[in-house]
Amino acid sequence: MPDIPQLCLATLPAVPAAVARPAYDPRAIGVGIFHLGVGAFHRAHQAVYTDDVLARDPRWGICGISLKSARTIEPLAAQDGLYTLLTRTSDGVTARVVGSLREAMFAGAARAAAIARMADPRITVITSTVTEKGYCHDPATGALNDEHPDIAHDLAAPDAPESAIGIVVAGFAARRAANAGGITFVCCDNLPHNGRMVEGLVHAFAQRRDAALARWIADHVTFPSAMVDRIVPATTPEDLVFAQHVLGLHDAAVVAAEPFGQWVIENRFGAARPAWEEAGAQLVADVAPFELMKLRLLNGSHSTLAYLGFLLGHEFVWQAVRDPLIATLIERQMHDEIVPTLTRLPGVDLPAHCRKLLERFANPALPHRTQQIAMDGSQKLPQRLLGAVRERIAAGAPLAHLPLAVAGWIRYASGSDERGGRIDVQDPLVGAFRRIVDDAHGDPGAIADGFLDLPSVFGADLGAHDAFREAVRGYVVQLFRDGAQVTLAHHLGVA
Ligand code: CS2
């Protein structure tokens, strides 16, 4: 087989006309954004909005760093930051080469260089997609977790940081020393009030490091909140083959996404920024209603269908959502329990929004694994499901489906499937989960109790709320005894 050349700046002109290319010369643009976490989601979301902006304003190329692995960086470095975005629908696939990622570094190998990059006065925006667990916070309270090994390490060695927060604070220290001026940090992970939360984490960390630095940050850095939305499953071998076929070039950094995308950003920038609104982003005074809608309707449904769908044997989201038991459950959960907790947004028809979500989930061209969404549940449940539980309890409103969704997580995280197979549970708390299951000696009620006693997930309040606890416990026992099929059918009254 002849060697297929790799996508890079030198081969970019060979990309066929049917594939969209950067509408600017990537060699001629500057770097104005520093990004942490160059995984698939960033490459299919913020980097694409920025790619659209660059045709008109060449200041906003991205310097992306990976914190944990060199694997995402190597192909990007070899390809001069270029990669293909595939947009997948049941009608077909479109391909586009994105050029906004101008520099790519692995923090593990280029820590000092990455930190120094944040002191460049031309860089005035930092963005981050490091996943929920990447902020080293306590999921129930949003406070910095001092006991997290990466935070403990970074507080002891602030010049050789490993965590996202430690790296950013080191970057702010470098920026302060260089007198490089103000900067904005836009968190782009699915966390509640993500700007405020990250601001609190940065301040807590900086304060422990140096009070004068903490003051500098308070005076020079703003932390807008943002709602980000686009379904971007992990890239598959088929995506790589498809991209090679349409490009005639090899691309090892392909990402594949749905056509839908949304980015709502709080307009609280303290320094120059890209005109992302020209690429379709919404700049608003208050992101909170958008964020709650997204976290509770999309992500809350995603987690519910991932745990229960996995237990029912569904590998992909599109299969789970075509199962009438799952579809009915998440429809009812959205309408009966989530929508009543949301603030009405002008121009948003919530029932239509829920229908659209089900359509997006049902996209058969997106092989989105239930296992992928199921990971890190301890970091996701508080904002996806438990915030609504708390509000309903406070309002004296009934709980019907949410306790079953929480029980689905516990049943899944207990580590064995309904056929006795082992589940590869990926979660920072997996060690605690295993201890709970071992100590329960096969008693499902004791397993439920052990999980409900995890304060970093349920806080001090929910674990101690008798009615919620009993409801979750009852479903966990039923899931173990009767299986997900019977439990769901019984719950929905279709048995
Ligand atoms: C998903 C999200 O992996 C997950 O937990 O729920 O990544 C989801 O696909 C995105 O937030 C959609 O915007």
Structure tokens at 39: 């995984």
Cβ neighbour number for residue 405 with a 10 Å cutoff: 27
Measured by CA distance, the residue closest to atom 8 of ligand 1 is 231
pLDDT tens string, the chain, 495 residues long: the values are 458 999 999 999 999 999 999 999 999 999 999 999 999 999 999 999 999 999 999 999 999 999 999 999 999 999 999 999 999 999 999 999 999 999 999 999 999 999 999 999 999 999 999 999 999 999 999 999 999 999 999 999 999 999 999 999 999 999 999 999 999 999 999 999 999 999 999 999 999 999 999 999 999 999 999 999 999 999 999 999 999 999 999 999 999 999 999 999 999 999 999 999 999 999 999 999 999 999 999 999 999 999 999 999 999 999 999 999 999 999 999 999 999 999 999 999 999 999 999 999 999 999 999 999 999 999 999 999 999 999 999 999 999 999 999 999 999 999 999 999 999 999 999 999 999 999 999 999 999 999 999 999 999 999 999 999 999 999 999 999 999 999 999 999 997
Q: How far is the CA of 301 from the centre of ligand 1 (A)?
A: 10
Give the fold, CATH level 3, of 288-492: N-(1-d-carboxylethyl)-l-norvaline Dehydrogenase; domain 2 (1.10.1040)
- The domain spans of the chain are 12-284, 288-492
- Among 231, 255, 263, 359, the mutation site with the greatest number of ligand 1 atoms within 8 A of its Cβ is 231
Q: What is the DSSP string of 274-318?
A: --GGGGT-EEES--HHHHHHIIIIIIHHHHHHHHHHHHTT--BHH
Task: Please identify, by atom number, the ligand 1 atom nearest to the C-alpha of residue 233.
Answer: 9
In order, the DSSP letters of 452-471 are: HT-HHHHHHHHTT-HHHHHH
Nearest CA owner, ligand 1 atom 1: 373
CB atoms within 10 A of CB 210: 14
What ligand 1 atom has the least distance to the C-alpha of 384? 6
Q: Find the helix or strand (DSSP H, E) in which 264 lies.
A: strand 262-266
| Domain 12-284 CATH superfamily | NAD(P)-binding Rossmann-like Domain (3.40.50.720)
CA-based nearest residue to 405, from 492, 494, 472: 472
> How many Å apart are CA 400 and CA 491, to the nearest integer?
9
Per the CB < 8 A criterion, the answer to whether 451 and 457 are in contact is yes
Whose C-alpha lies nearest to ligand 1, atom 10?
A: 231
Residue nearest to atom 5 of ligand 1 (CA): 373
How much distance in Å is there from the Cα of 373 to the middle of ligand 1? 7
- Give the nearest ligand 1 atom to 190 CA: 11
| CA-closest residue to ligand 1 atom 11 | 229
